Structure 1
Amino acid sequence: MTGAPTSDTRERLIAAAADLIAAAPGEEFSLRAVCDAVGVKMPTLYHFFGSKQGLIDAVIEHGFDLYLNEKSSMESSGDPIQDIRAGWDAHVAFGLANPGFYTLMYGKVRPGHSPEAQSRPSEILRALTARAAEQGRLLVPSEQAAAHILVTNIGVTLRQIILAAPDPALSQTVREGAISAITGKGTRDNDSLTTAIELAAAQPDVLGRAETQLLIEWLGRLSRVEKLQ
């Protein structure tokens, strides 16, 4: 006589589905194969997830856990724009290293449905663009800036997964284009201030990190004053 399903069984089902997805990115996987890998019957799987989509949503959550664990280990530079750059590169690297997870996380589109787990990395990005806005470094509202960065980051990652060929030059070019679009670098009337801000942010060790952040704050205030005149 077998006991009642446990949370450990649930985690093993998620892990088995994740392994099947990782082994064949973009391919359909069998619920029967998942159950066989764990040694349970189909009713046990339905007990935990209700449906195949329920299991897929749990695997997506697992994928975001892996992604955010990697991001949490990254040290902040102290500068929001530099951290957006680093976050972009980490996003692409995760997608290329985990195409099975990534295509579930961002590539499977269901109209009107957005996996709840997608909001977690979006919140991190919105916090960075909000900080950049406070420093007077954005040409657009911070929410719009975050959305612009996210959609282009996803697009360039999916493109490389589809081609099965990493293209660092493409990623860098699109990244800098997206950052230029939200900061207006090279297009603002007060471009000298923008250039000074970005130069300081790119080389924080020259003045020291604390001093660099203070300089950026001061230049940001000057930028906001100039736009009001």
Structure 2
Amino acid sequence: MTERVGSDTRERLITAAADLIAASPGEDFSLRAVCDAVGVKMPTLYHFFGSKQGLIDAVIEHGFDLYLGEKASMENSGDPIQDIRAGWDAHVAFGLENPGFYTLMYGKVRPGYSPAAQSRPSEILRGLTAEAAKQGRLVVPSEQAAAHILAANIGVTLRQIILAQADQELSRAMREATIAAITGTGTSRGGPLAAAIEVAAANADVLGPSETQLLIEWLSRLNRSSSIS
């Protein structure tokens, strides 16, 4: 085998490993197979990654790059709860379309360890829950809301991957139950105004985006006023 080492060798090794993982989700892969696919020898791989785990970490980073690239193409609705709904659905869709990447990103658990790349989508989610809290839409702290959403979202995605079957009804039910829990919709903690706000947000196509946002703003003012009094 003639070794082909160039400036792009590291990226080609990551791509080769990612291709092997995508072809056989959940199964181990051979470093030798990765090297053969790229046309390099094992010392070259160790030079770039240090170990097999180093290569896996690089593949996880690559998976998050793909995931965030898809999220970046999503249009911001201007409503944080609606964007949480859209983000939930995008998360599930990515997991079902890329089970090999997803199980590395979220399914491989080491106590006390979280891949650094996981912080990037978590920051986006925390930004949305912080905005929802600012609007008076949450009945729990924004950090708790983000943790609640992420735990439920990962759980429902992994279940569908394990069963190798999409279950949109389950995902939708889990999504709405999670949103109800953090917004207080349908409970005494949230009250009727909070429920009305979330009904309006979930049906923005009825009034249109601008009218819906105006209604939410009015209802939020009334909700804040009633809670103060």
Normalising by structure 1, report the TM-score.
0.94
Give the 5 Å matches for 1:130-145.
Answer: 130-145=130-145
Secondary structure at the residue paired with 1:86?
Answer: helix
| 1:52-105: CA deviation from partner (whole Å, max 9, x where unpaired) | 010000000000011111111111221111111111011001000000000000
The residue that corresponds to 2:228 in the other structure is: 228
Equivalent positions of 1:177-216 (< 5 A) are: 177-188=177-188, 191-216=191-216
Report the alpha carbon displacement of residue 131 of structure 1 after superposing the two structures with TM: 1.0
What 5-or-longer segments of structure 1 have no aligned partner?
A: none
Q: Deviations over 1:1-43 (max 9, x none)?
A: x899444000000000000000111111011110010000011
Contact 2:35 2:42 in 1 (8 A): yes
Match in the other structure for 1:28 = 28
Count of residue correspondences: 228
The answer for the alignment partner of 2:158 in structure 1 is: 158
Label 1:55 to 1:18 Cα distance change in 2 as closer, same or farther (>3 A). Answer: same
Q: Which amino acid aligns with 2:18?
A: A
Runs of at least 4 residues of structure 1 off by over 4 A? 2-5, 205-208
Map 1:46-65 → 2, pairs under 5 A: 46-65=46-65
Q: CA deviation at 1:179?
A: 0.6
Note the aligned Cα RMSD (angstroms).
1.7
1:135: Cα distance to partner?
Answer: 1.1
> Is the counterpart of residue 127 in structure 1 residue 127 in structure 2?
yes
Change (3 A) 1:207 1:160: closer
Letter in 1 for 2:80: P
Shift of residue 213, structure 1, vs aligned partner: 2.3
Aligned-pair distance for 1:205? 4.6
Deviations along 1:123-148, one digit per CA (max 9) or x if unpaired, are 11111111111111101001100010
In 2, the alpha carbon distance for the partners of 1:29 and 1:130 equals 40
Cα shift at 1:163: 0.7
What is the deviation of 1:198?
A: 1.7
| CA distance in 1: counterparts of 2:158 and 2:226, whole angstroms | 40
Q: Does 1:17 align with 2:7?
A: no
Q: 1:132 to 1:57 in 2, by over 3 A?
A: same
CA distance in 2, matches of 1:11, 1:66: 14
2:104 paired residue number = 104
Give TM-score, length-normalised by structure 2.
Answer: 0.94
2:82 is aligned with 1:82: yes
Q: Percent identity among equivalent residues?
A: 79
One-letter amino acid of the counterpart of residue 224, structure 1? R
